Amino acid sequence: MNVLVLGSGGREHAISWKLAQSPKLSKLYVAPGNAGTTELAENLNIDVNDFNEIKKAVLANNINLVIVGPEDPLVNGVVDFFLKDEEIKNIPIIGPQAEAAQLEGSKEYSKRFMQRNNVPTAGYESFTKETLEKGLNYLETQNPPYVLKADGLAAGKGVVILNDLTAAKKELKAMLADAKFGDASRKVVIEEFMSGIELSVFVITDGKDYVILPEAKDYKRIGEGDTGLNTGGMGAISPVPFADDNFMKRVEEEVVIPTIDGFKKENLPYKGFVFIGLMNDDGNPRVVEYNVRMGDPETEVVMPRLKTDLLEIMQAVADEKLRDIEVEFEDKSATTVIMVSGGYPEAYEKGHEISGLDKTEGSIIFHAGTKEDNGKVFTNGGRVIAVTSYGKDFNEALKQSYKNTEIIDWEEKYFRSDLGFDLQKYLN
């Protein structure tokens, strides 16, 4: 089979790395890919939102299966585009159609879906510019911390959590009246604050059945001890020590099953990954958000823990035969440490040469924001490299990753050296 992966991050490199191990794979293409994916695949210089160019590439390269990495093309309807086009409608594409992609594309849509399907989540109300006064009054009736969410996609920046009522009112005005997040904050969801500890749960579904993939914990803040600005993710750990069998059973019964049943009941055909952001509040699972794709950096630990052939799983999803295959996982821990450009998530430089990539040992090096030029590899984004390792527990795995984050180097590299700090207490 010829397979095309859409995207260019560490997630797509990890998916490609796993696909490349499949005996069923003939040729792999990644659009647009990065310096890492060139080692496994042919990179195609196509924007993930340029559906016409994607179609041309699919036909020109006899692609038999497409896997969509990021959310943008899904929310923009890439799957619908395929289904409506006579020439490519029979080529399976893994990801939901635009309607179901609203689970990520609109916070309000996803809250309503959860309410209708009795999925545990925080209470909420939503407001627009026209109902700003009501929103301000509503804030007065709530307890701090105040959680304000831009309804639409805002590149991970649209959620603001504030302790002070005056600041929360100011923020609501900025979002609604001053379009702080552009179109994304035309509507704002004000949500009850949920306490607890977060984790990411991943599900693959063919629309009928589902498989729960290994869960992971990611580290979103730039600074040690979970301080400073939010990032795309500074590292991940899987399995998550506090996600024991009891908790995961509750997640399956109270969240996963109602979600998959909801897709069926509401006639939302869904073939793809569901990423459930969860709060573990004293053993009670509550949903923070849905994403309609895999997580990044979580994929860089989930794929290494998957024993079963990913291409076989993707084919089963396309054929609605997920029920017929057994999906197996490694018991070992996997961790990934994200190395970023100095300054990220604020302004940072690109184009620094990366050294040491060929000197690492005992880790899997996934590329995120990198670019190849004349055999050399350069930084090309905020998150640059993901260093993934295995271990009997996450401490052992992290130790291995940290050996290699010393070897890989460029001007002003940065990474968090405290991953797992919050999980030590859960180790036996």
Beta-bridge partners for 159: 149
From 50, 198, 224, 422, residue interacting with ligand AMP (rule: CB under 6 A):
198
Nearer to ligand AMP, 144 or 391 (CB): 144
Could you tell me the smallest distance in angstroms from the CB atom of residue 3 to ligand AMP?
30
CA gap 161, 147 in Å, rounded: 5
CA gap 66, 158 in Å, rounded: 29
Site for ligand AMP in 121-150 (CB under 6 A): 122, 147, 149
Cβ–Cβ < 8 Å for 185, 179: yes
Q: Which does 288 bind (CB under 5 to 8 A by kind): ligand AMP, ligand GLY, none?
A: ligand AMP
CA-nearest of 270, 278, 274 to 293 is: 274
Nearer to ligand GLY, 7 or 36 (CB): 7
Cβ–Cβ < 8 Å for 179, 154: no
Q: Which residue has the tokens 């729960």?
A: 212
Site for ligand AMP in 52-81 (CB under 6 A): none
Main-chain dihedrals φ then ψ at residue 113, nearest 5 degrees: -60, -45
From 25, 175, 194, 276, residue interacting with ligand AMP (rule: CB under 6 A):
194
Q: End-to-end distance of the chain based on CA atoms, in angstroms? A: 44
Give the Cβ contact number of residue 406 at 10 Å. 10
Beta-bridge partners for 397: none
Q: Should residue 329 be labelled a site residue for ligand AMP when binding is judged by CB under 6 A? A: no
Q: Which does 291 bind (CB under 5 to 8 A by kind): ligand GLY, ligand AMP, none?
A: ligand GLY
Q: Should residue 277 be labelled a site residue for ligand AMP when binding is judged by CB under 6 A? A: yes
- Which residues are at the interface with ligand GLY (CB under 6 A)? 218, 233, 291, 295-296, 298
Q: Should residue 206 be labelled a site residue for ligand AMP when binding is judged by CB under 6 A? A: no
Q: Which does 120 bind (CB under 5 to 8 A by kind): ligand GLY, ligand AMP, none?
A: none
From 193, 329, 402, 414, residue interacting with ligand AMP (rule: CB under 6 A):
193
Q: Which does 285 bind (CB under 5 to 8 A by kind): ligand GLY, ligand AMP, none?
A: none
| C-alpha to C-alpha distances, 365 to 221, 298, 370, nearest whole angstrom | 22, 14, 12
Cβ–Cβ < 8 Å for 399, 57: no
Nearer to ligand AMP, 149 or 271 (CB): 149
Interacting residues with ligand AMP (CB under 6 A): 122, 147, 149, 159, 191, 193-194, 198, 277, 288-289
